[in-house]
Structure 1
Amino acid sequence: MRQAELTDSKPRLGRKRDDSRDPEILDATLDVLAEHGYDGMTIDMVAARAKAGKATLYRRWPSKPELVLDAVACMKATTLDPQSLPDTGTLRGDLIAMIKAPTLRDAERKLKVMAGIVSMIARNPELADAARDALVEPRAALNRIIFQRAVDRGEISADVDIETLIGIAPAIVAYRTLLLQKPVTREFMISTIDTVVLPAAGVRPS
């Protein structure tokens, strides 16, 4: 058998998929989702934002829901490490120490992404858990630690409803960001802590 025939008879492997651009594509997905919502978002928009070919996206994510779920899940990976939580000795000090410019921007983006996928969740309720795990639970878990510390040192009563307390500030921020279309500043967050969250926890203003 000639060498050419031997060569032709060997199985030909397809081109290996390059996953190195996945983070850029998923980040672009979140941007488009936050700006246009799930229904307004298209694969073309994401491809253009990520400067990637549409075929590249479809090879990796055969459908829009799969792309969106991967993008939302990747937000969870950027969550703060519980070991890095501030420990100032007071509930007010800890809550204020958590207010940082990148954190505020990240929270605002997550809210817009959450608003963007509401229609998708309405059609697929089973996706609500995945969205909550990626967008809500990571920050809630950190706040539970902060409030539990306050309970442990006797600063607030052990009878307080921690789950309700950790939902107060996010609810106010969501209302301000999504309905009032106003920015969430450090000053606004400190005011919310002092006038709403701490009184709700039974902490008297100093």
Structure 2
Amino acid sequence: MTQTEQVEAKPRLGRKRDHTRDPEILDAALDVLSETGYDGMTIDMVAARAKAGKATLYRRWPSKAELVLDAVVCMKSRDIDLAALPDTGTLRGDLVAMIRPPSIRDSERKLKVMAGIASMIARSPELAAAAQEALVEPRASANRIFFRRAIERGEIPADADIERLCMIGPAMVAYSVLMLGKPVDREFLISTIDGVILPAAGLRTA
């Protein structure tokens, strides 16, 4: 066989896979995951929610674990813009300025996703790391900036335990949403700031 014949005999590559629907599919995966949990979730459910063919999903994500990992990592792209954080001049002002309807809904969804993958996190260090990076770290990073500013202004003691303070708000929200089944609203968040976070930081509010 000549070299030309050998080239012609090679199978032609198929069409390049279209990944334009990936964000939509991953978003559907997060919705299903938050509703059913990892164990109850199936790729078929995600395909139906995204109105996509099952074959498309299986070609792109051969297993449910791979789909879930990509979906969780995708949430990282919606991180808080640390360069655009509010700077009101006070710790309370900064924390309150972060309370917006979109951020409240996003926090609740993240909590439900975290609850949905709880059974899988212990078995998958890679998923645990992705969850920490996408679900926990963005808000913690913003809070660290707020508390460091407060220390620089002399608002709170220089030896304030920033890491512990960063955990208080998310822990209170998680308990309310996941354990009590109560939605989180502006009033709840402000009362947490005034009644728990600021006193823990060494501040008193009127």
Change in 2 beyond 3 A, CA 1:87/1:45:
same
- Return the alpha-carbon distance in structure 2 between the equivalents of residues 204 and 127 of structure 1: 40
Deviation of residue 69 (structure 1)?
0.6
- Return the alpha-carbon distance in structure 2 between the equivalents of residues 126 and 110 of structure 1: 18
Deviation of residue 9 (structure 1)?
4.5
* Aligned 8 A contact 2:75 2:134 in 1: yes
Paired letter, 1:40? G
Deviation of residue 204 (structure 1)?
1.3
**Residue number in structure 1 paired with 2:82:** 82
Point out 4+ residue stretches in structure 1 off by more than 3 angstroms. Answer: 8-11
Cα deviations across residues 67-93 of structure 1 (Å, max 9, x unaligned)? 001000111110111111000000000
**Residue number in structure 2 paired with 1:159:** 159
Cα deviations across residues 85-112 of structure 1 (Å, max 9, x unaligned)? 0000000000000000000000000000
- Return the alpha-carbon distance in structure 1 between the equivalents of residues 82 and 130 of structure 2: 21
**Residue number in structure 2 paired with 1:67:** 67
Paired letter, 2:167? G
**Residue number in structure 1 paired with 2:189:** 189
- Return the alpha-carbon distance in structure 1 between the equivalents of residues 121 and 151 of structure 2: 35
* Aligned 8 A contact 2:38 2:116 in 1: yes
| Corresponding pairs, count | 202
Deviation of residue 134 (structure 1)?
1.1
SS of 1:183's equivalent in the other structure is coil
TM value normalised by structure 1: 0.94
Identity of aligned residues (%): 75
Change in 2 beyond 3 A, CA 1:17/1:126:
closer
**Residue number in structure 1 paired with 2:174:** 174
SS of 1:202's equivalent in the other structure is coil
The reply to whether residue 139 of structure 1 matches residue 142 of structure 2 is no
Paired letter, 2:137? E
Match runs of 1:32-43 below 5 Å: 32-43=32-43
- Return the alpha-carbon distance in structure 2 between the equivalents of residues 137 and 83 of structure 1: 15
Deviation of residue 11 (structure 1)?
4.1
SS of 1:155's equivalent in the other structure is coil
Paired letter, 2:109? R
TM value normalised by structure 2: 0.94
SS of 2:122's equivalent in the other structure is helix
**Residue number in structure 1 paired with 2:23:** 23
- Return the alpha-carbon distance in structure 2 between the equivalents of residues 11 and 70 of structure 1: 31
Gaps of 5+ in 2: none
Cα deviations across residues 115-151 of structure 1 (Å, max 9, x unaligned)? 0000111222443122111110111111100110000
Cα deviations across residues 141-193 of structure 1 (Å, max 9, x unaligned)? 11100110000110001111000001001000000000110010001100110
SS of 1:77's equivalent in the other structure is helix
SS of 2:12's equivalent in the other structure is coil
Gaps of 5+ in 1: none
